[in-house]
Amino acid sequence: MIKKVKKEALTTAHYALLYEADPSKKMVEDYITRGICFDYQTEELQGILVLLPTHPRTLEIVNIAVSEESRGRGIGQELLHFSIDFAKKEKYDYLEIGTGSTGFQQLYLYQKVGFRMTHIEPDFFIHHYDEPIMENGLPLKDMVRLRLHLS
């Protein structure tokens, strides 16, 4: 169900999911070029995941998204567990993720699987995105960084 996908093989459906999680085309293009992409499919695409080595011994989840129709079925959690297993298999010490401070469901899910908050990057979304982003009825400004110690 979860398989590696090369950048050249990404479809319009893949990009739609990537942009749902991150509306910046520039940022998405940058990290899919440098990262490792995986998708979750049955008959159709249900989820996407992009992992990027960032620091020595650290792998970051830079994009994770589940299609609207597939939410609530545990696919996001399955993609997170896949990321953890992949990072351990590849001998990383840490797995990191950043998310918006207004993404309450995401923050809950990441902490549920063991991630711990490390810091907040104030005004990250104001400085790195051309258009304002609204999430859960609130303007998105700050990024919350979380880390999972793997060893």
Give a three-class secondary structure readout of the chain: CEEEECHHHCCHHHHHHHHHHCCCHHHHHHHHHHCEEEEEECCCEEEEEEEEEEECCEEEEEEEEECHHHCCCCHHHHHHHHHHHHHHHCCCCEEEEEEECCCHHHHHHHHHCCCEEEEEECCHHHHHCCCCCEECCEECCCEEEEEEECC
pTM: 0.93
How much is the mean pLDDT over the chain? Answer: 96
Confidence of residue 77 (pLDDT cuts 50, 70, 90): very high
pLDDT value at residue 101: 96
Query: How much is the average pLDDT of 19-38?
Result: 95
Does pLDDT of 15 surpass 90? yes
Q: Which domains does the chain have, with CATH numbers?
A: 2-149 (3.40.630.30)
Q: What is the pLDDT of residues 106-145, one digit of tens each?
A: 999 999 999 999 999 999 999 998 889 999 999 999 999 9
pLDDT value at residue 83: 98
